[in-house]
Each structure stands twice: as C-alpha cells, then as structure tokens.
Structure 1
Amino acid sequence: MDLKKWINKLENYYTEKPNRVFTMYLNTDPADPANQGGEWRLHLKNGLNNFETYMKEDGDSDEKRNFWAVKEKVQNFMEENVQNLKKSVIIFATADEDVWLAEILQMPVKTEFYWEDEPRLEQLKELHESFPKTGIILTQKNQVKFIDAELGSVKETGVYELDLDTEDWRQHQGPHKADANLGSGGAKSSQKDELAERFSENRARWYKSIAPKLDKVAKNRDWDQIYLVGESDEVNDLESHMNKQIQDKINKNLLDQEETKVLNEVV
C-alpha cells in the first residue's frame, strides 16, 4: 500500500446516497486486554449490524443493496485473512469497487465504523504522520542493503555488493553474503583482512559510485525519512555523497540481522 497516494485519492473522493463509502478501523491486537478473547469479531458484527438497523428504518432499498455488497466483501476479507491478523485492519470500500482498500497493519487503531458520503481519514492520516514511509540503508564494507518500510512493516529489501574485480555495484535478489566464497579458516581470515585494507583505502570512491543508485531507490519509493546504519566512517562517507537528506545515522553493524528486528531497533 502506498499510503500517501491513497490519502490523496480518498481526500478527493465524494459520493451521494444511495452510493456511499464504508470506512472501518478495527482493532485486532491480541495483546490488547480488551481484545484477548477475539472480541474484534463481536465488534465487527455489531458495527455492520448497526448500519443495517439504520437502513431498515430509512427504507432506501438501493442503499441497502449497496451496503450488503460491501458487507459481503468485508466479511469475506476478514474470513480469508483470519490467520494473518496483526494489530489492526483498515478497510475503505464502495459497492462498485471504485474504492477498495483493505490492509492488515502492525499498527494499533481505535475501532470505528462509518457509512457516509466521504471516507473518514482522521486515523489514516495519523498513522501516516506517526509512521511515514521509511528507508533504512545498512552498510558493511562492500555490501549495502536497503529496507523499504511503511506503517511499521517491511515492504521490500535489496542488497548491493561491490564486485572487487570490476569495481561495479551489483544488486542481488534475496540474502547474499559477501564472504560466502572466501574459503575457510586462515585463508578466509587473510582474505577478509585484505578486503578490509583495500576497502579502507577506496571506501570514499566506492561509496561515491553507489550513492546515486541509493538516491534513485529513495526517489522511486518516495521515502519520507532515511536512516543510515553502519560503522561511523562508512555511514559518514555515504551520507556525504548522497543528495537525499538523512534523518539519522546509527553506528551499528546490523546488515545481517532480520529486517523486522532492524526496523524495530532503528525507527
């Protein structure tokens, strides 16, 4: 989900009865004392039934059909994802699917339901302000990794490794270890020492060559804030060659840590 784009779209969305927009913020956090018995199921049922009671009294059959169509989609989504729930679910929906946004979030929300001419965006905007699109760039000698995160969840990762023969940075898919082919024992240790010495001599030049790639990654993913993580000399060199503004620098070697743990520690 690109939250910023969705907010821009929904801010300008307006419809009229009998076509209305359903908004749902549902707390599904199992750690919440008020929700440990799966009370979200009851809250969901009551929230949906309240609208049906209102429409039964109002007597608008077209609006009822539209709401029933949305209700079915919402219930199907929750049933299909019941094993994947985290702290919350947000849904924005219309009967004709002109609007359909359904997301399981790692962030808490206050349970609210709306069926109105416009989507209710107060909590969505608060989430965006509290958890903006974030990029984490981790350095460790000739490896550089980025983590793309939004709303406290990892969306994408990428790893660049410097080819020491060609001095080109190459992007790898999935986990990649720079020393995977360095042999073992004393030979491996000797090669790592040689790499460290060579890297220290050429670090500024090599980081200058990857900085434009990282600026492009940040631009394409529309990061609101960027963190650099690694040894002090490395992150300082990298920052000096990047055009994007850096939110903060963390002097730790976390490149090989699991991404969600890195996100929780850095942000």
Structure 2
Amino acid sequence: MDINAKLKELENVKTAGSNKVFTMYLNTDRTDPDQQGGEWKIHFKNGMRNFESYLSEANDKEELHNFQVVKKKVERFIKENEQQQLKGIIVFATADDEVWYAEIVQMRLENEFYWQETPELDQFRKLKETYPKTGIILVQQNQIKVIDSYLNQIEDTFSYELDVETDTWRIMQGPRKGTSGTTGLGSTNLQKDKFEARYEVNQQRWYKKIAPKIDKQAKDRGWQKIVVVGENGASKVLTNQMSKSVDEIIQKNMLDHEESKVMHEVLG
C-alpha cells in the first residue's frame, strides 16, 4: 500500500448531498485483551446499526439507501478476508464506488466510524508517521540480515554472508542456512577460535566493504528509518561505516529470531 499516494487522493475527496463517505477504523487485534472473544465483530455491528438507526429516524431514504449499499460492500469484504485478519481494518467507501479503499493492516487501531462529506484521515496520517518505510539490519559477525518493512509489515527479507576465504559478501535470498560466525570454517573449537581471531582483526575492513551495499539498499528502497540490531561491537562498527544516518541501535543479537518477533521487538 502506497499510503502517501492514497492519503493525497483521499484529502481531495468531498461529496455532497446524500452521497456521504464512510470511514471505518476497526481494531481486530487478537492479542488485545479486549478482543479475546472476537469483540471486534460486536463493535462493527453496533457501529453500523447506529448509523442505520440515525438515518432511519432522520427519514432520509436516499441517504439510508446509500449507507446500506456501503454496508453490504464492507460486510462482504470482511467476510471474504476474515481468515487473513491481522490487527486492524481500514475502509473508505461511497455508494457510487467513486471511493473504495479497504485494507487489512498489521497495526492496532482505535475503533472509529464516520459517515460524512469527507473521509476522516487522522488515524491514517498517524500510521504514516508511526510506521514509515523502515530498514531493519541484523548484524552478527560475518552475517547480516535485512528486513524491509512498511506500515509494520514485512515487504522483503534477504541476507548477506561473508565468505572469509575470498573476502567477499554474497547476497542470499530466502531463509539463511547454517550457523552464524563459522561460514566456511567448520565447527570445531579450534576453527571457531581461528575465526574469532580473524574477526577481531578484520571487523572494520569487512563492515567497510558491506556498508555501501546497505546504503544503496536504503536509497533504492526509500527507507525513512534505519534500525541496526546486533551485539555492541558489531552494531556500532557497521553503523560507523555507513553513510546513511541510523535512527536507532539496539544492542541485542536477534539474527536467528523469526522476522515477526524481530518486528515486534523493534517496531512494537
């Protein structure tokens, strides 16, 4: 989802008469203590019923009809995507289909429902500010994993591994294999000791070689925020070698953690 383009488009929407815009922010986060029993379904039904009751009492048949058209479209979207529920649902819609935007998001929302001439965009703007395009760089000795994220969801993930024999970094798509810190060196204590000795001597030079590659990823992917995660020495050395500004350093080894756990730890 390109939130910038969509936000700009929605800011220019203004309807007239009975053709109102429906806005919905719905919290469906199952980890929320208030959502353990699927309470989001009750919030949704109550929100829709309140509008129908108000429009019925106002005796505006055309506006009530328009709302009911939108209601059916939203109900259909929710039913078709119920198995893919994440933390929230955002909907902007009109009865004439001039506006239709429905997205399942990995962000907790505050329950809000609006039926008015313009879309309600406050929460939408906050999401843009809270979850910008972010690069999470996990570093551990001769291995680096990069998580490319946007709006608290993973867009891409890949790894770099240093071949210590040829002194070159290779990009690895998909899950990493093997254990960190021993690439090409076997697993005996002696070999590990030899690697540790080489790492201490070559750390600055190794990270200086990989830093431009990460800087290029940051530029090409449009990262607005960069977080480096790794043990004290590795994270600081890599950060110092990068030309791009790093927003946060987390001194913790998380290279082998599941990406979803990393995201939760880093972005919340």
User: What range describes the TM-score normalised by the shorter chain of this pair?
Assistant: 0.7 to 0.9
User: C-alpha distance in 1, partners of 2:55/2:15?
Assistant: 17
2:226 is paired with a residue whose SS is: strand
The answer to whether the Cα contact below 8 Å between 1:182 and 1:191 also exists between their aligned partners in 2 is: no
Query: Are 1:147 and 2:179 an aligned pair?
Result: no
TM-score by length of structure 1 reads 0.81
Matched, 1:58 2:63: no
Consecutive unaligned residues of structure 2, counting only runs of 5 or more, are none
Deviation at 1:261, TM superposition (A): 1.7
Q: What residue identity is the alignment partner of 1:58?
A: D
Identity %: 49
Report which stretch shifted further, 34-43 or 119-128: 34-43
Residue equivalent to 1:214: 214
SS at match of 1:147: strand
Shift, 1:249, TM fit: 1.3
Q: Distance in 2 between matches of 1:233 and 1:111?
A: 44
Contact 1:158–1:173 at 8 Å: present in 2 too? Answer: yes
Q: Which amino acid aligns with 1:145?
A: K
Q: Deviations over 1:71-100 (max 9, x none)?
A: 333112211222333432211234455544
Letter in 2 for 1:79: K
RMSD across aligned C-alpha pairs, in angstroms? 3.0
Q: 1:58 to 1:97 in 2, by over 3 A?
A: closer
**Residue 159 of structure 1, CA deviation:** 0.9
- Contact kept, 8 Å, 1:161 with 1:178, in 2: the verdict is no
Contact 2:163–2:183 under 8 Å retained in 1: no
Q: Measure the CA separation in 1 of the matches of 2:220 and 2:104.
A: 24
Is contact 2:162–2:183 with CA below 8 Å preserved after alignment? no
Q: 1:58 to 1:66 in 2, by over 3 A?
A: closer
Query: In terms of mean alpha carbon deviation, does 26-35 or 132-141 score higher?
Result: 26-35
Change (3 A) 1:118 1:170: farther
Q: Which residue of 2 aligns with 1:226?
A: 226
Segments of 5+ residues of structure 1 without an aligned counterpart are: none
Q: 1:93 maps to what in 2?
A: 93
| Letter matched to residue 59 of structure 1 | K
